[in-house]
A and B are shown apart, each in its own frame.
Chain A
Amino acid sequence: MTPSAQIALQNAVNGLLIGGTYATVGLGMSLVWGVLNVINIAHGAFVMLGAYTTYWLFTLYGIDPFATLPIAGAALFVLGYGLQRVVVNQVIRASFLITFLLTFGFDLLITNGALAVWTADVRAVTTAYSGRAIHLGPVIVPAVRLMTLGAALLVALLLHLLMSRTRLGTAIRATASDQDAARLMGIPIGHVYAITFGIALATAGIAGGLAGMSFPIYPAMGANFTFIGFVVCVLGGLGSVAGALVGGLLFGLLTTYAAGWLGPNYDYIVAFSALILVLLVRPAGLFGRAARFRG
């Protein structure tokens, strides 16, 4: 295999591996956007909280990072449920600008709170197996990243099963489709919204745990992930797990190749260009429906 082909293949593998994490980030955002019609600007901040949860559980109690994921997920589910029921619900029918600002407020609160409590020091999660890698022919597959992708696929599968095979999932989809009709059917909308938000934040927390194993952890890391989440949603289309998955993997590939060609400091430019292209050419994304426009 020629060197350039080898590099291309390695990039593809790297892109897919990191794409799994991106997909998990996008899942939660897509869920909230598709069901509650709220774009959660603070989504990245919740990812950050998940990363720190994993970090502290690992550092203080020696729990393996992958084992902390369900804990992070559960904790953030509770937080999400509470937040939606108490705060977000107040503005859920308000204009998009209001909900935008509210989630901005959350972001300010959480990011600066984290900064105050944990300082700006950059942390990392390094386990005994962090350096291990599998060699598949000419391609190097880091063990942690492979397991991360596996976890991401598992989360996607679980969410898909939830949405398609359970009564709760049906209730959520019904509410997303037509809120008033769902209410008339006896579906407790407030509860459904809160659960949806909880699930979304749980996936954010898990995504954060996954991210924390591959990326540096610091309070301001959230902003990046919010943007990533958004691009994934736009690329993959709203309202489907498959969409978020494909969007995330695609975005992983895109940024990895771009970093390869242009260097690591051009990832926003690439992401933004992709975003604009998709928005102008195929606003519904690859799989989904376009979000209802309010403006």
Chain B
Amino acid sequence: MNRREVRGLALAAAALAVALVLPGALNTYYVRIITGTFLFGILASAWNLIGGYTGYPDFGGAAFIGVGAYTTGILMVRAHLPFPAALPAGCVLAAASAVAMGALLLRLRGHYFAIATLGFMLVLRQLTANLEITGGGSGMNLPAAGDFKEFYYWMLAGLVLAVLAGFALPRTRAGYALAAIRENQDAAQVLGIEPLPFKILAYAANAFLFAAAGGIYAYWLTFIDPPTVFNIDFTVQAVVMALFGGQGTVLGPVAGAVILKSLDVTLTNVSLFLHNVFFGALVCALVVFAPRGLAELFQARPGRGRAAALGASIREALQENRV
């Protein structure tokens, strides 16, 4: 490992140590916010596996959030399983469904893959609303848990898992296959890589993690219904966070989650009513001015301070791509 990696590892370890003791030190309001941030950290890191690293932008990830949420709920309520047993079951089911859907969808590229995955999520949402076992459109209740801290630690565990996956994958043989597929799928094929199985692997890993987040979220909310969990907002935010935190890095998506969640909370405090509107404007602004990630906005260039660099980035964005 090189020095940058060692620094990153040290930073992550320190952050983890802090995270472990935070609930004792902060009041519940902040613990909740941080738990929500962990949720999106999981989603952003997981999306990065299939969307950033493999280059297949999945816009239907919320499908797996729903699978995780409802499987956890159904197993807890109807099969009386404890949460630690129900949650992994949801993850496995989501991964299995990803394998099945992926075998079809991962043959598509670009736009088509994105919309097809979105369609998949809409289908699952409608299916869930039509079934009895899920409580249909009225939703279902989950058993209440004890202390809120439980959710914090579960989410943290999920986040650690997601970050580890993001760290490990590029260093494995499968990771090399995925990078090659992302860079040039045709060239990858003539070098011995059969693309579909590897793409399915990334997609399933993404699904597993999304389902974990979903299951924990369901237990936290204690009430879920189709529009709540099969909600495209989860995916859009995850994508934005991954993109602007820096797709090429392990902790980038997490950083994106932290920054955007903080902005979101601030906006909510400004106006609960309008915070979604502001968020939409924020997404537009970010896309136009910082398409390569927030880090780029602030990267100092030779002979310029960071503030000047920010101004230059904005000016550049305005001049670039003038048709």
Residues in chain A within 8 A of chain B (CB atoms): 33, 39, 87, 89-98, 100-102, 104-110, 112-113, 115-116, 189-190, 193, 223, 227, 230, 234, 265-269, 271-272, 275-276, 279-280, 283, 291, 293-295
Pairs A–B under 8 Å by Cβ, sample size 24: A39-B111, A91-B288, A96-B114, A100-B114, A101-B283, A105-B282, A108-B276, A113-B280, A116-B277, A189-B323, A227-B119, A268-B125, A268-B126, A269-B123, A269-B126, A272-B119, A275-B115, A276-B105, A279-B116, A291-B110, A293-B109, A293-B112, A294-B109, A295-B56
B169 to chain A, nearest CB (A): 19
> Is A92 within 8 A of B323, CB to CB?
yes
> Is A112 within 8 A of B280, CB to CB?
yes
B245 to chain A, nearest CB (A): 14
Query: Binary interface profile of B, 225-267, with partner A (CB < 8 Å = 1, else 0)?
Result: 0000000100010011001000000000000000000000000
Query: Binary interface profile of B, 200-239, with partner A (CB < 8 Å = 1, else 0)?
Result: 0000000000000000000000000000000010001001
Q: Which residues on the B side are within 8 Å of A265 (C-beta)? A: 126, 129-130
Residue of B nearest to A101 (CB): B287
B293 to chain A, nearest CB (A): 11
> Is A89 within 8 A of B57, CB to CB?
no
Give complex CA distance A190, B126 in Å.
41
Give complex CA distance A110, B287 in Å.
17
Q: Which of B127, B129, B281 contacts A109 (CB 8 A)?
A: B281
Q: Which residues on the A side are within 8 Å of B107 (C-beta)? A: 280
> Is B280 within 8 A of A107, CB to CB?
yes
Q: Which residues on the B side are within 8 Å of A101 (C-beta)? A: 236, 239-240, 243, 283, 287
> Is B288 within 8 A of A96, CB to CB?
no
Question: Is B279 engaged at the interface, CB distance under 8 Å to the other chain?
Answer: yes
Residue of B nearest to A97 (CB): B57
> Is A87 within 8 A of B288, CB to CB?
yes
With known contacts A105-B284, A112-B276, A295–B55 Cβ distance under 8 A: yes
Q: Which residues on the A side are within 8 Å of B108 (C-beta)? A: 279-280
Q: Which residues on the A side are within 8 Å of B282 (C-beta)? A: 105
Q: Looking at the complex, which of B17-25, B27-35, B190-198, B314-322 is the stretch in contact with chain A?
A: B314-322
A106 to chain B, nearest CB (A): 7
Q: Which residues on the B side are within 8 Å of A112 (C-beta)? A: 274, 276-277, 280
Give complex CA distance A268, B282 in Å.
31
Q: Which residues on the A side are within 8 Å of B113 (C-beta)? A: 295
With known contacts A89-B323, A105-B280, A295–B110 Cβ distance under 8 A: yes
> Is A90 within 8 A of B277, CB to CB?
no
Question: Is B122 engaged at the interface, CB distance under 8 Å to the other chain?
Answer: yes
Question: Is B118 engaged at the interface, CB distance under 8 Å to the other chain?
Answer: yes
Q: Which residues on the A side are within 8 Å of B123 (C-beta)? A: 268-269, 272
Question: Is B291 engaged at the interface, CB distance under 8 Å to the other chain?
Answer: yes
List the 7 closest A-B pairs by CB distance, nearest first. Answer: A108-B280, A109-B280, A105-B283, A295-B110, A105-B284, A112-B276, A272-B119
B interface, by DSSP: helix, strand, loop or mixed? helix
A181 to chain B, nearest CB (A): 14
Q: Which of A87, A98, A116, A227 contacts B122 (CB 8 A)?
A: A227
Give complex CA distance A97, B282 in Å.
16
A96 to chain B, nearest CB (A): 6
Q: Which of B51, B56, B119, B274 contacts A268 (CB 8 A)?
A: B119
Question: Is B100 engaged at the interface, CB distance under 8 Å to the other chain?
Answer: no
Give complex CA distance A96, B240 in Å.
14
Q: Which of A102, A266, A295 contacts B130 (CB 8 A)?
A: A266
> Is A92 within 8 A of B321, CB to CB?
yes
Q: Which of A109, A268, A280 contacts B277 (CB 8 A)?
A: A109
Residue of B nearest to A183 (CB): B323
> Is B130 within 8 A of A280, CB to CB?
no
Question: A101-B240, A116-B273, A272-B122 given. 11 additional CB < 8 A pairs?
Answer: A89-B321, A90-B318, A97-B243, A102-B284, A104-B283, A107-B280, A227-B122, A266-B126, A268-B125, A293-B111, A295-B55
Q: Which of A105, A223, A279 contacts B112 (CB 8 A)?
A: A279
Q: Which residues on the A side are within 8 Å of B280 (C-beta)? A: 105-110, 112-113
Question: Is B120 engaged at the interface, CB distance under 8 Å to the other chain?
Answer: yes
Q: Which residues on the A side are within 8 Å of B111 (C-beta)? A: 33, 39, 96, 291, 293-295
Query: Binary interface profile of B, 114-145, with partner A (CB < 8 Å = 1, else 0)?
Result: 11101110110111011000000000000000
> Is A89 within 8 A of B322, CB to CB?
yes
A36 to chain B, nearest CB (A): 10
Q: Which of A87, A93, A227, A266 contacts B284 (CB 8 A)?
A: A87
Q: Which residues on the B side are within 8 Å of A109 (C-beta)? A: 277, 280-281, 284
> Is B57 within 8 A of A90, CB to CB?
no
Q: Give the residue among B122, B127, B318 with the most A Cβ atoms within 10 A.
A: B122
Q: Which residues on the B side are within 8 Å of A97 (C-beta)? A: 51, 57, 239, 243
Give complex CA distance A137, B132 in Å.
41
Residue of A nearest to B289 (CB): A90
Question: Is B187 engaged at the interface, CB distance under 8 Å to the other chain?
Answer: no
With known contacts A96-B110, A112-B276, A272-B120, A91–B287 Cβ distance under 8 A: yes
Question: Is B104 engaged at the interface, CB distance under 8 Å to the other chain?
Answer: yes
> Is A269 within 8 A of B116, CB to CB?
no
Q: Which residues on the A side are within 8 Å of B281 (C-beta)? A: 105, 109
With known contacts A109-B280, A266-B130, A295–B109 Cβ distance under 8 A: yes
Q: Which residues on the B side are within 8 Å of A227 (C-beta)? A: 118-119, 122
A284 to chain B, nearest CB (A): 12
Q: Which residues on the A side are within 8 Å of B273 (C-beta)? A: 116
